Chain A
Amino acid sequence: MEFNESFILGCSAIGAGLAVIAGIGPGVGQGIAAGYGASAVGRNPGAKGDIMSTMLLGQAVAETTGLYGLLIAMLLLFVKPLI
């Protein structure tokens, strides 16, 4: 069966949309990290600087998986590897 170009483009767009669902995980993870960060600041306000930097570092690392999904979406939409 022969697929034409617009069919592949449409499927790529659907695939890109599915790929950015990967953003759910980092969102939940960053929220949990921020919540625990807030409770840690509440328990020990003196260590606010250390808690902030540790939290931001962890969040930025946790963000990576979501960015991989974004990258796949970008590749599907703009580089068009399947055509």
Chain B
Amino acid sequence: MRSSTPDIAALQQKALQFRREILETLQLAGSGHPGGSLSAVEIFISLYFYKLQYHAQDPKWEDRDRVIVSKGHCSPVVYVTLANAGFFPKEELKTFRKFGSRLQGHVHSKVPGVEFNTGSLGHGLSVANGLALGAKMLKKDFKTYCILGDGELQEGSIWEAAMMASNYKLDNICAIVDYNKVQENGLVKDIKNIEPLSDKWKSFGWNTLVIDGHDFNQLITALDEFAGCRGKPTVIIANTIKGKGVSFMELKAAWHGKAPNKEQLAEALKELK
């Protein structure tokens, strides 16, 4: 599964497969969030199939790296990733958003591999800080990763947490911003501009890396750079495309929170071969 010398071509194939499975899962559910799931596919693959230390059969292994998914609406990419990583049977993806399913609409810790229930934005970074601070107190080497949305950065609580992490020199935390440029009702820059984003994080005391979030080489390099950074937290600003891989979904706010129907799924799958 995980490898120290990544086969980039294989990861790219996996990304195509994940995008297909995300859309199939959403079509069956009849609702959910494709845009911010498709944009984060390479981020999750880089974590779960390159960087993270975990045991899928022992999801509570105490030395595992922690992932807090602050943008909890990207549950489709989270669940597809965890199923493919062996945390639970892929068959279960068909129950997404259905009554009685573990696969709640927003990420939930009853799903093996999910650390924390989210869904309300602006929560994850503080929780991840708590894990990182606790790890330092316990002298544990595991790392904590926090997946943030870009629209979510409009929440003030994110910046409370950003200040805390650098103040406590939490060099064992890595925030990854899925900077897909689109939020529920339009472009982030039009609704409430978060630029200059890199300068913001730098001014809050973070080791700030700006990359193409669909390029596995850049993701892997950035994740390795985080592992070597001492004395300050790291943020990876991953420039991505909302709805990546499906032409009629890309950069369209309408596909933030709407599932494809059967015809739209068929159209999308043609582009994901």
Do A and B associate with each other? no
Chain A interface residues (CB < 8 Å from chain B): none
